[in-house]
Homo-oligomer: A and B are copies of this chain.
Amino acid sequence: MTELPAQMISTSKAAARIRAAAIDAFSVGGYGGTTTRDIAARLDMSPAAMYPHYRSKEDLLFAISFEGHLVAHETVAAADRADASPVDRLRSVISTFASWQATHHAQARVIQYELTALTRDHYRTVVALRRETTAIVRSVVNAGVDTGDFIVPDAEGVTLALTSLCVDVCRWFPTGDYTDPQVVGDLYADLAARVVGAR
């Protein structure tokens, strides 16, 4: 796995508050539809107050995106217990991935849908990080296929679909009766097991 500079995220308290406000704002109005005033207003600050912490609005988006994908990755990775059976690994990974997207749906929307607003370099950095998470799903699927626990027509297609399923949770969550991330996680773990034809 690529070494990524975790220290790129400012650890100051003020910076964290700004990121949180920006996530709220971006998730509702999109990056392009959100102004620095919108963000500042949520903090009762002036727009200029952001600049000692982030060099630009795009820089702020990058910090959010980077941190978000990093944490998402770490969370999913921690759920992948290499010593468990393929089905259990899959259940754990998918359940954790889906419920993270549900719990952090605002943050997830920003880091999934606003990537095109990043500069080229920032985009590349974040996308590389995002691929790591997909790689976890892939390795679990492949492991099950290798052991014969999973029977799938197309391992890569299944990887794509399962990842997609999890990612899209942030778009619709919460909806109707599905307001508990854990419920979503459990449901998705079940569906994933069915998809891979786990005995």
A residues in contact (CB < 8 Å) with B: 28-34, 112-114, 116-117, 153-154, 156-158, 160-161, 164-165, 167-169, 171-172, 175-178, 187-188, 190-191, 194-195, 197
Number of copies of this protein chain within its complex:
4
Specify the main secondary structure of chain A where it touches its partner: helix
Considering the complex, give the chain B residue whose CB is closest to the CB of A168.
B168
Task: Quote the shortest CB–CB distance from A180 to chain B (angstroms).
Answer: 12
Q: Which 5 A-B pairs have the closest CB atoms?
A: A32-B33, A32-B32, A168-B168, A164-B168, A157-B187
Q: How far is the CA of A165 from the CA of B172 in the complex (A)?
A: 11
Chain B residues whose CB sits within 8 angstroms of the CB of A178 once the complex forms: 157, 160
Q: How far is the CA of A32 from the CA of B190 in the complex (A)?
A: 38
- Is there an interface contact between A187 and B171, defined as CB atoms closer than 8 Å? no
**Contact of A160 (CB < 8 Å), options: B29, B31, B172, B190:** B172
Q: How far is the CA of A175 from the CA of B156 in the complex (A)?
A: 11
Considering the complex, give the chain B residue whose CB is closest to the CB of A164.
B168
Considering the complex, give the chain B residue whose CB is closest to the CB of A109.
B113
Q: How far is the CA of A195 from the CA of B31 in the complex (A)?
A: 35
Q: How far is the CA of A154 from the CA of B190 in the complex (A)?
A: 10
- Is there an interface contact between B165 and A171, defined as CB atoms closer than 8 Å? no
The 10 listed contacts between A and B (C-beta, < 8 Å) are: A30-B113, A33-B116, A112-B171, A158-B191, A160-B172, A161-B165, A161-B187, A161-B191, A165-B168, A191-B195
**Contact of A33 (CB < 8 Å), options: B30, B191, B195:** B30
**Contact of A171 (CB < 8 Å), options: B28, B164, B176, B190:** B164
- Is there an interface contact between B160 and A164, defined as CB atoms closer than 8 Å? no
Q: How far is the CA of A179 from the CA of B177 in the complex (A)?
A: 35
Considering the complex, give the chain B residue whose CB is closest to the CB of A167.
B168
Chain B residues whose CB sits within 8 angstroms of the CB of A188 once the complex forms: 161
Task: Quote the shortest CB–CB distance from A181 to chain B (angstroms).
Answer: 13
Task: Quote the shortest CB–CB distance from A117 to chain B (angstroms).
Answer: 6
